[in-house]
């Protein structure tokens, strides 16, 4: 099955949730941008993450694609273990997959190389592709707005630590813009609740890292 049939193309980065097993057998899931290189998938995790350690140890993973953007938030900011009923064992590799996903790509590690001191690149062989047919779904601007806000929020803390306040201010302004958009088009929804939680986290980081400008 050709991934290009699902909209993949070389040079693009596609947002997924990558799932692996931890050494104790519990499932782990984390958002991951993936790209296509000929017949392989490329992922570039940070070396400090469980995803990197699990890929090195088990040499396999499942790349999950799903419409429900809130699960990207839950897997970024997981304060406790994710519910076990979110997962089931993959068919071809020793890794879990997310039951709520629409497309699953089971992969094995073919090669790994260091990109920087903090980051590595994994070349993944595709072992199985599975998907489920979906009912038509209407498009809402809040879907895109929340996804961008989740991604931007993970970078706010990084730039606060580096004291790159211009970048912090830029990211916070973008998140505030998306917050106002979500309040307009998706009021009193899970989208709005998650946005409020993101802003609360940012306010906490601002206090910790003594951000010198007005809070969001």
Q: Which domain CATH number covers 125? A: 2.30.110.10
- Residue 136 counted as domain residue: no
**97, 19 contact by CB (below 8 A):** yes
Domain boundary residue among 111, 131, 151?
131
> Which neighbouring-strand residues pair with 96?
89
Whether residues 70 and 102 share a domain: the answer is yes
Q: Is residue 216 part of a domain?
A: no
Same domain? For 122 and 172 the reply is: no
Where a domain ends, among 131, 149, 167? 131
How many domains does one find in the chain? 2
The answer to whether residue 92 sits within a structural domain is yes
Residues 42 and 124 in one domain: yes
Q: CA 101 from chain center: how many Å?
A: 13
Spans in the chain with pLDDT lower than 70 = 1, 134-137, 213-216
Domain that residue 104 falls in: 3-131
Same domain (yes/no): 117, 44:
yes
Alpha carbon 161 to chain centroid, angstroms:
21
Same domain, 167 and 90: no
Instruction: Provide the token pair at 105.
Output: 């790509």
Where is the domain boundary, 131, 149, 169? 131
| Any domain includes 214 | no
Q: Which residues contact 138 (CB under 8 A, 6 or more apart)?
A: none
Q: Look at residue 137 in the predicted model and tell me its pLDDT.
A: 67
Do 167 and 116 fall into the same domain? Answer: no
- CA–CA distances in Å: residue 211 to residues 51, 144, 169, 188, 198: 30, 28, 10, 30, 17
Kindly give, in sequence order, each residue whose CB lies less than 8 Å from that of residue 147, ignoring residues fewer than 6 positions away.
15, 69, 72
The 3-state DSSP class for residue 136 equals coil
Q: Are residues 17 and 107 in the same domain?
A: yes
Copy the structure tokens of residue 112.
């790994």
SS3 of residue 204 by DSSP: helix
Residues 122 and 145 in one domain: no
Inside any domain, residue 108: yes
H-run or E-run covering 129: strand 120-131
One domain for residues 98 and 174:
no
């Amino acid at each position: 099955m050709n991934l290009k049939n699902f909209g993949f193309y070389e040079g693009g980065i596609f947002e997924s949730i990558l799932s692996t097993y931890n050494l104790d057998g519990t499932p782990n899931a984390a958002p991951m941008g993936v790209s296509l290189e000929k017949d392989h998938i490329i992922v570039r995790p940070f070396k400090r993450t469980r995803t990197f350690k699990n890929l090195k140890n088990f040499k396999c993973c499942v790349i999950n694609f799903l419409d429900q953007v809130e699960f990207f938030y839950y897997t970024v900011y997981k304060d406790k273990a994710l519910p076990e009923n979110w997962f089931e064992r993959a068919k071809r590799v020793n890794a879990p997959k997310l039951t709520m996903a629409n497309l699953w790509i089971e992969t094995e590690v073919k090669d790994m190389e260091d990109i920087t001191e903090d980051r590595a690149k994994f070349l993944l062989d595709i072992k199985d592709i599975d998907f489920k047919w979906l009912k038509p779904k209407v498009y809402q601007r809040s879907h895109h707005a929340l996804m961008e806000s989740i991604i931007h929020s993970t970078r706010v803390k990084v730039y606060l630590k580096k004291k790159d306040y211009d970048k912090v201010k830029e990211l916070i302004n973008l998140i505030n813009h998306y917050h106002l958009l979500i309040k307009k088009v998706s009021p009193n929804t899970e989208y709005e609740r998650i946005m409020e939680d993101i802003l609360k986290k940012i306010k906490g980081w601002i206090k910790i890292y003594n951000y010198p400008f007005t809070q969001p």
